[in-house]
Amino acid sequence: MRTRPLKVALLGCGVVGSEVARIMTTHADDLAARIGAPVELAGVAVRRPSKVREGIDPALVTTDATALVKRGDIDVVVEVIGGIEPARALITTAFEHGASVVSANKALLAQDGAALHALAEEQGKDLYYEAAVAGAIPLIRPLRESLAGDKVNRVLGIVNGTTNFILDKMDSTGAGYQEALDEATALGYAEADPTADVEGFDAAAKAAILAGIAFHTRVRLDDVYREGMTEVTAADFASATRMGCTIKLLAICERAADGGSVTARVHPAMIPLSHPLASVRGAYNAVFVESDAAGQLMFYGPGAGGAPTASAVLGDLVAVCRNKLSGATGPGDSAYTQLPVSPMGEVVTRYHISLDVADKPGVLAQVATVFAEHGVSIDTVRQQGRQDGGGEASLVVVTHRASDASLNGTVEALRNLDTVRGVASIMRVEGE
């Protein structure tokens, strides 16, 4: 074994960074044996230097992250700060000063992955980011390496633990959205401002990264269609239950049947209880991958948290250090297909539409005609008279597969019918 240690600069020492430092220290001998050289924590860049950080030599702590990555003797920079800046500038500087980079930064990778990969390649360095998607779950490297000989056609994932916790709570207790969110906040699953999670921004960044890697193309954050899950109601869950389904916030990346384009989207959807993703409970994540040769694969585990995320970071650190010792680099950017990303209107799926209608002769025929006029084929219809005696009924229509554009046209026309008092909910049905 080489005795000269590989030097690691840690940028950020919060929930994830402190776990990275802890594991580097407590597992030092094993890491050295697996890599073939010791790894040394050479510096830790933080915002608040006065905070006591157990197990970290205060002499390593600095507030000058730029100076740390510019030192010139750093082999690997581990970035666990998050956000776009200063993370982007620091990673860029790290590459320019001879370091490889391990990052957990989904927002940055989704927005600027192409430029960062290009710079890494130009400098002959590694850029690894297993922790950016679904925490501890090995997913990026399986897609980049294990499945590199296959053709991935679809990635369907629960990639946000906070929203899965909330939806699972609504499903299992009948709670409304706000009540379930309050519990998620009290238990520390949801942030004080839960917008990034509940509005699907976090999942959309992960979808962009997954789609790009899975289909060897460029998918940016702006290419991902996004709907949050704040409008999902207890009534939607009751309806899903009647259909033998549950509701999940899904990140869905698909290659078109003709192979000429891809789509990426995040939205709540009904999935059958028989689908493996339906059994993903609490704050867990899972990603279901469909490929030509392997068939169906499911990756499951904790998608967030200090130690689980640090596990993914450490795995990357070992891989990057091994590459460094052998004078090689790992897989770089593989966006060679340059497939266009189709707009949401071209996505084809099934829909569950809940309407409040007048309960009188001819209404069902009127509604069915609107679907027919827009080329949307109805699979099932369920009508339920209201108990309030107001001459209204709930009509639940489930369609066969139709394009999002046709469905939107249908809903617009339905809203214009005098007999349709309201469109209570529209939800896509996936995983069938």
Judged by CB, which is closer to ligand HSE: 224, or 304?
304
| DSSP structure string for 248-281 | EEEEEEEE-TTSS-EEEEEEEEEEETTSGGGG--
Neighbours of 192 (CB within 10 A): 5
Residue number with CB closer to ligand HSE (141 or 255): 141
Please, what is the minimum distance in Å from the beta carbon of residue 252 to ligand HSE?
A: 17
Q: For residue 402, list its beta bridge partners.
A: 349
Binding site for ligand HSE (CB under 6 A): 160-162, 197, 202, 303-304
The SS3 of residue 224 is: coil
How far apart are CB 43 and ligand HSE at their closest, in Å? 25
Closer to ligand HSE by CB, 17 or 303: give it: 303
Q: CB of 190: closest distance to ligand HSE in angstroms? A: 8
Q: Is 206 known to be catalytic?
A: yes
Residue 82 — left, alpha, or beta (φ > 0 → left; ψ -120 to 50 → alpha)? left
Closest CA to 208 of 316, 353, 108: 108
CB-count burial class (<10 Å; 0-12, 13-18, 19+) for 348: middle
Q: How far is the CB of 202 from ligand HSE (least distance, A)?
A: 5
Catalytically annotated residue among 206, 248, 324, 360: 206
Residues 6+ apart with CB under 8 A from 51: none
For residue 96, what is the enclosing H or E element? helix 87-96
Give SS3 for 400.
coil
Residue number with CB closer to ligand HSE (200 or 303): 303
Residue 136 CB, nearest approach to ligand HSE (Å): 11
Planar angle of CA 248, 291, 345, nearest 5 degrees = 55
Judged by CB, which is closer to ligand HSE: 15, or 378? 15
Rounded to whole angstroms, how far apart are CA atoms 290 and 154?
5
Q: How many residues belong to the chain?
A: 432
Pull the structure tokens for residue 157. 């994932």
Query: CA–CA separation, 261 vs 259, rounded Å?
Result: 6
User: Smallest distance from the beta carbon of 112 to ligand HSE, in angstroms?
Assistant: 17
Q: Which is nearer to ligand HSE, 75 or 202 (CB)?
A: 202
Tell me 340's DSSP state: P
Which residues are marked as active site?
206
